[in-house]
Amino acid sequence: MREGRVTCTGKNGDHEIAFTDWGDVSNPNILVCAHGLTRNSRDFDKIAESLSEDYRVICPDMVGRGNSDWLSQADEYGYPQYVADTLTLLGQFEIRTLNWLGTSMGGLLGMMLAAMPDTPIQRMVINDIGPFIKRAPLRRIAAYLSARPKFETFEDLESHLREIHAPFGPLTDGEWHHVATHSALQTADNRWQTRYDPDISVPFCKAIDADIDIWEIWDQIRCPVLVLRGADSDLLSGETAAEMTTRGPGSVTVKEFEGVGHAPMLMADDQILCIQRWLSK
């Protein structure tokens, strides 16, 4: 694994986003992995390592998360900036075609990129998200996103993450420790908090006054899509997943994982194998 940074431009100046880079840098088969709202690139360590023999796997930290810079203005946190930053990253490596894997927010970002007229995305995997999201689960996320507590010990932080992210599924102790390690930020007073800018909650909370409906974006996508769904997910309903197979992309496959909510962490062997087999078709 290699780590790097790329300079991007925003409304109020430049900022840098961090990324991890796996596999042979000369491999033309590219897989870009984009994380969820409060998560970061290191969620993909296991699947990136598993797929790095067949793909060059690039996993960015979206601005305000992980090791990327924080923005000076809260209202800059939104999909226009995430799309622009992603295109800057792709341009840095002169990437013209790629496969996309996006969890939750990363899946919505992938949809927007895939709907572009000259999209570089040839195949796309979207993890537990769709073009219609009811307001209730968004309010659940907003509740913990806005709280932003501090913890006296790292162990307390890990316990908190295990609680709020229990829908990720039955992770091992080692996997939870990995999640916590790369989600932890130690403060000047030697306490701990989660590794994202609390200002990302501002535009998110403003946007949940109603259900999210972006079917018009879904209907513009033409590349093959694999939709992953936690069988207990409250963000991607079974009804929405079923409708996704009837419109938009010409080829849509849905795969559900039992005992998982929002969202499958893609650390389990069966989840990784499902993606690997679909991408290799």
* CATH of region 2-133+215-279: 3.40.50.1820
Report field, pTM of the whole predicted structure over 0.85: yes
Which two three-digit tokens encode residue 143?
């509740």
pLDDT in tens, 75-119: 999 999 999 999 999 999 999 999 999 999 999 999 999 999 999
Which two three-digit tokens encode residue 77?
């946190």
Q: Which residues of the chain have pLDDT under 70?
A: none
Q: Where are the beta strands (DSSP E) in the chain?
A: 2-10, 13-22, 30-34, 56-60, 98-103, 121-127, 132-133, 184-186, 192-194, 212-213, 225-230, 252-257
Q: What is the pLDDT of residue 268?
A: 97
Closest C-alpha among 159, 165, 182 to residue 1: 182
Query: Distance between CA atoms of 135 and 124, rounded to whole angstroms?
Result: 25
Query: Distance between CA atoms of 87 and 38, rounded to whole angstroms?
Result: 21
Q: What is the pLDDT of residue 250?
A: 86
Q: What is the pLDDT of residue 147?
A: 79
Q: What is the pLDDT of residue 208?
A: 81
Provide the residue type at 232 as one letter. Answer: D
pLDDT in tens, 192-202: 999 999 999 99
Q: What is the pLDDT of residue 145?
A: 85
Q: What is the pLDDT of residue 82?
A: 98
Query: Distance between CA atoms of 223 and 120, rounded to whole angstroms?
Result: 10
Query: Distance between CA atoms of 74 and 61, rounded to whole angstroms?
Result: 17
Alpha carbon 86 to its chain's center: 12
Q: What is the pLDDT of residue 206?
A: 86
- Residue holding tokens 């890990």? 158
Report whether 234 contacts 137 (CB < 8 A): yes
Domain ranges in the chain are: 2-133+215-279
Q: How many CA atoms lie within 13 A of 113 on its CB side?
A: 32
Report whether 60 contacts 34 (CB < 8 A): yes
Q: What is the pLDDT of residue 170?
A: 95
Which two three-digit tokens encode residue 151?
């913890």
